[in-house]
Structure 1
Amino acid sequence: MKKTMKFGLITVITLMMGAFLPVTNPVSTVHAAGAAPKIEAKAAFILEPSTGKVLMNQNGDEKLGIASMTKMISEYLIFEAIEKGEIKWDQAVPISDYAQQLSQDNSLSNVPLRQDETYTFKELYQAMAIYSANAATVAMAESIAGSEPEFVDRMKEKVESWGIKDYELYNSTGLSNADLKGHMYPGSNEKNENAMSARSIAIVAQNLLESYPEVLETTSIPMMIFKEGTSDSIKMENWNWMLKGFVSERENVDGLKTGTTDFAGATFTGTAEENGMRIITVVMNATDGQKDLQKRFVETDKMMDWAFSNWEKVEVYKENDGLEGVKPLKVENGKTDNVKLAVASDVSLLVPTNTDVKDKEATFTAKKKILNDSKQIEAPIKKGTNLGQAEISIKNDDLGYIDGSKGAKVDVIAANEIEKANIFVLAGRWIKVFVSDLF
């Protein structure tokens, strides 16, 4: 009985104290992303390509061997040559002595090539993208640039244009120089290997997907027969075991490129899209990857699980929506004295899952020379006129990105048309200002 009375008294006192305690509310509507998994590899990296946000960086800035992930750069240059009209998909590709000799090396990933047979760019590109065929890659490089070293010079120029500086490129394939039958880039030796950081190879993949998303139509093919119906036919199974029908199958994976050499270990640049969000993953030199070729895909699966569980892309504006939280621009000599601002395209933000994106903010920067000395825009103004750019973000200091700008940038346009005021309207305004100044 005494214990019951004591408990009751404590409860009453606790409740009374609670009545006078201040009530606190959460200060943020942003839910932090869960801790990233530890990946059993020399380096691991996750990039959301449309925003450039880095979601994971595990030793992603150390230069390491990239092996056949090199071929993503070659793929870019092939698509670019098609786009420029330098080559055509149905165009025949001559097979040099070197390409023919290399194609006969069964210790390397190859399709057999003969000099008395006709091969199109389409056929050799498919062999490269699906089966990582090395001699096929060399043949296309030679045909496009005149020689493989000249093609490598184009590769270097291209990656530098993307801001990549931590690279070594010696061939179009990613093979060890020691496997090139003596056909090495001038000034290099048998010990030289293609190398790059995980961040940089993710940037390569980002540019490839942005410029030529059709690459996924081929990289997502699990199996194809090369030269089907001929005596040279060969079954090409994709080295990406995350595609449908393979041991590490994962839904929505549609690329992108594997790579394996003694120097680089087992590597993989993967990509998948779920719920409207695409990610690029990079695993370099997976632990015991040479003994267990599935390891790189197991680790990639962990990365994709984490990224898709903890992050999402959320639409915060639709095209032509009015820009919130930003004052209209003042208009000089217009029928109305301001013009409303609108976004020129849809805007989505990459945020931790369950983030309340209603709490957004915008920072507007007017286009250069569009404002006069009075910080006004001159009428007339057509609806849809580009007025500048805005950065849209969530009102929170830290959304959890490893790096990358906080918000999303979007062009800002005039939401309405402003006609130039006639002389009578302007005179009336002048008189109104004059009288106001008098009194």
Structure 2
Amino acid sequence: MTITFRALLGATALCATAGLAGAQDSVTLTIATVNNGDMIRMQGLTSEFTAANPGIQVEWVTLEENILRERVTTDIATQGGQYDILTIGTYEVPIWAAQGWLVPLDDLGDDYDTDDLIPAVRDALSMDGKLYAAPFYAESAMVMYRTDLAEAAGVTIPEAPTWTDIMTAAQAMTDKSAEQYGICLRGKPGWGENMAFLTAMANSYGARWFDTDWNPQFDSPEWQATLTDYLTMMNEYGPPGASSNGFNENLSLFQQGKCGIWIDATVAASFVTDPEDSTVADKVGFAQFPNKEGVDNRGNWLWAWSLAIPASSDAQDAAKTFIAWATSRGYTELVAGKEGWRAAPPGTRASLYENADYQAEAPFAAMTLASINAANTQKASVQDIPYTGGQFVAIPEFQGIGTAVGQQFSAALAGQMSAEDALAAAQANTTREMTRAGYIK
């Protein structure tokens, strides 16, 4: 995919990078990142950075989300040193920082303005008051839907919908003979793919991963209701092959006009409203993540794709220079100057949401900020829990456990097992792993 950009560099971005790489005059940074739209855009702007920093060259390793997580986790745990900058999320940062695997980012330059970072996001990427990863973009989750299809079907999606509202609307919007699917949701297995969505959905149903003694809760009525309703929506109103669909696949379906409702990361809003890529750009409405009637919880999703430096990097000064550039206010201005304010990386800086130009061009801005601010990662469930995290459980073992459960639930979506069997397998497998890890005595 080739992206051509006009030459423009925000003055703030230049200031933010000044002086950080002076000790390393000629280095090549290897950056591992995810194949999301905002990251692809950043790669297209690399020449702006290297022009301002001629002693630094950049090599990109761009990977699908699950593969990225696997490779960077292996590399940092073994101190392999393959990468100078890692694209990681709010799950990894506190765990890896505690292990001493990440370089603190408390010296990104006088113009970086760490205080401008949205507090919930900054706190999620910090330990003991020090920032260990700089957020490139942050997100919660929300409902995106086709306003024209809803009107034609005679249904209304309120600003704060319930799951009953969503299922009623999805049914009314479905016309499979015309390849028009009422709802698109993540089905691809992975702790950060289908389990990110399903954990958020389970939270909104009043479920929890573990009780206060770390016993798995997949045999609870709340998880039974969550998975049953998810499979009903996907089997009756969703697209074929949904067990292979993650964020990018569903984004493409929605942009092509094949999804009536898509519930996913708020960062998707700029892509579904982009008239150059989305056939339905002027027909998209937004609503809060749904809740189950009687449950005062709306998913509690909070994530930030962030840039961090592994302690094994031998180009740390240059890496800080790049991170200061890519996550600065100046970079936001650079993107806005080339593609409009709607395309600015969302969710990281308070100043963006105070910008009248951004508010005018981004109809999703208010809903995005409200969703991020509403996330409660300290208590993701209405029930008592021993863990933190929104759409994940913030323990090192969760990557393996979450992916294994995701495989069971994806198999159920593919028709390879029943919901009851998938939940039973998740309960048995998670109990075994948590006992082996010493959580369950």
Higher strand share: 1
Q: Same fold (TM over 0.5)?
A: no
Q: TM-score, normalised by structure 1?
A: 0.23
TM-score (ref. length: structure 2): 0.23
Higher relative contact order (CA 8 A, sep 6+): 2
Q: Which has the larger radius of gyration?
A: 1
